[in-house]
Amino acid sequence: AAEALLRWQHPQRGMISPTVFIPLAERTGLIQEIGTWVLDEALRQAAAWRDRGLRMRVAINVSGHQMRAGDFVDQLERGLAQYGLSAGRFTCEITETVAMEDTATTQRAFARLGELGVHVSIDDFGTGHSSLAMLRRLPVAELKIDRAFVSDLADSEGARSIALAVMQMAKSLGLRVVAEGVETEAQRDILIGMGCDELQGYLFGKPMPAASLAVWAMDDTGAAPMSFRPSLFKATEPVQ
C-alpha cells in the first residue's frame, strides 16, 4: 500500500488525494484507525473553536467499516459528552451504498445517530441504488449529490436531469440537498437555479488547516463572490 501511495503522490505538492488513499485504507482495513482518529480530531477541534467563541458546524465522513463495527455511535456519544459539545452541530456523512446496506448493525447505528440528534447526510448520492422506502425510514436530513453529476452539469443534459430529479425527490421527502465538488460559476448558477440548498467545493474554499479556516470563515470577501454564505455557523435541525 505504501508503495502505491508513493507512486500516486501529487507531483507538485507532495500531497496524496483522498480519492487515492481512502480506497486503499478501505481495502487494507486501516480505515478503522483513520476513522477513529478523524472522529477524535473533529471533536477536539470543535471544542477548541468553541473555546475561542466560534460555534462551527462540523461534518465527519463515516466509513462503512465504522458503521458495521458497531461502536462508532458509542464513541461519538462519549466524545460529545467529554467535550461538552451539542450533537446538533455535527453532521455524519454516510455514503448511499452503506446507507442502503440493510444489516441489523448498520440500521441500528442509523437509529442511534437519529436518537443522538446528529445531522445525518447521505453522501455520494446518485451513485448507488437507493430504496425510497429505506430513505424515508432512516433518520436522514440531507442528500449530497455526488460530484460526478456536478462536474458534468454545464455540458451534460443527463447530469442536469439527474441533479434535478434528486432535488425534486429530496423536496418531496423533506430533505435538504447539498451539491459537492462545485468548481465553476456555471455549475453554481445551474444549482442555485434548481433550488439547491447548499453548495460545497473549490469555488468557495479549498481544503485548509484549521487555523486558516477560522480566519476564512470570518472573512466575507472570500476567493469567489458568494451568493451563498458559508453555513459553517448554523446549528442543524435534528431529524424526528
Query: Which residues contribute to the site for Ca ion (CB under 5 A)?
Result: 61, 93, 123-124
Identity of the residue, 72 or 219, whose beta carbon is nearer to Ca ion in the bound complex: 72
Q: What distance in Å separates the CA atoms of residue 218 and residue 54, rounded to the nearest whole number? A: 10
Residue whose CB is less far from Ca ion, 80 or 94:
94
Which of residues 81 and 210 has its CB atom nearest to Ca ion in the complex? 210
180 close to 144: Cβ distance less than 8 angstroms: yes
Write down the least CB distance from residue 143 to Ca ion, Å: 11
| DSSP for 143-154, written as a single string | EEE-HHHHHTTT
Q: Return the residue matching grid coordinates 451539542.
A: 86
Question: Taking the complex as a whole, how short is the minimal distance between the CB of residue 81 and Ca ion, in angstroms?
Answer: 25
> 37 or 219, CB closer to Ca ion?
37
Cell numbers at 14, concatenated:
507532495
Specify the residue, 196 or 219, whose C-beta has the smaller distance to Ca ion. 196
**93 DSSP 8-state letter:** E
Helix (H, G, I), strand (E, B), or coil: what is residue 185?
helix
Neighbours of 28 (CB within 10 A): 10
Strand pairing partners for 75? none
**DSSP three-state, residue 14:** coil
Q: How far is the CB of 3 from Ca ion (least distance, A)?
A: 27
Q: Least Å distance between CB 127 and Ca ion?
A: 9
Q: Record the cell numbers describing residue 159, joined without a space.
A: 447530469
Residue 123: CB minimum distance to Ca ion, A: 4
Minimal distance, residue 168 CB to Ca ion, in Å: 21
Which of 36, 19, 27 minimizes the C-alpha distance to 1? 27
Angle at CA 190, nearest 5°, toward 189 and 196?
95
The residue whose Cβ lies closest to Ca ion is: 93
Q: Which is nearer to Ca ion, 51 or 93 (CB)?
A: 93
